[in-house]
Amino acid sequence: RPNAGPFIAMFGGGAGQPQDLFYATADQALFYGNGGTIHNWAGVLAAPLSTQQDPKLLAEEMYLHVFNRRPTDDETALVTTYLQSRADARVPAIQEMVWGLLSSAEFRFNN
C-alpha cells in the first residue's frame, strides 16, 4: 500500500468533509488519464499476468487483483476476445485492460 497516498489525496475527502459526490472532478479524470500512478499500477500487475497463457485464468486473476471478485462469463469472454485481437501486442493489451479496470467506476467506488 505504499502507493496509496496519491490515490487517497486525489479521491479522499478532507477531515470532516464526506466524499459523497458521484462524479469525477477534472483533476481526478486527469489523474487516471495522464497520471503516472495508475499507469505504474497497471504495468506492475500486467507483468505477472502476462505469463498466464489461459485467457480465462488471466481474466480471473486480473479481476481478483483489481476488484477482489471473479469475472462474469461476459467479462471473461471480453478479455478472451480482446487478447485474441491483440495477439501481436499481448503485454500492452493486458496493461490496457488493467488500466481500464482501475479507471472504472466499480474500482473508484468499491476500493
Range of the domain at 54: 4-110
pLDDT digits (tens, 9 = 90+) for 53-79: 999 999 999 999 999 999 999 999 999
**Across 12-24, average pLDDT:** 61
Cβ-in-10-Å burial (0-12, 13-18, 19+) of 20 comes to exposed
Cβ-in-10-Å burial (0-12, 13-18, 19+) of 58 comes to buried
Q: Which phi-psi region, left, alpha or beta, contains residue 18 (left: φ > 0; alpha: ψ -120 to 50)?
A: beta
What is the pTM assigned to this prediction? 0.72
pLDDT digits (tens, 9 = 90+) for 77-94: 999 999 999 999 999 999
Residue 7 scores a pLDDT above 60: no
Residue 105 scores a pLDDT above 90: no
Q: How many domains does the chain have?
A: 1
Read off the pLDDT band of 34 (50, 70, 90).
low
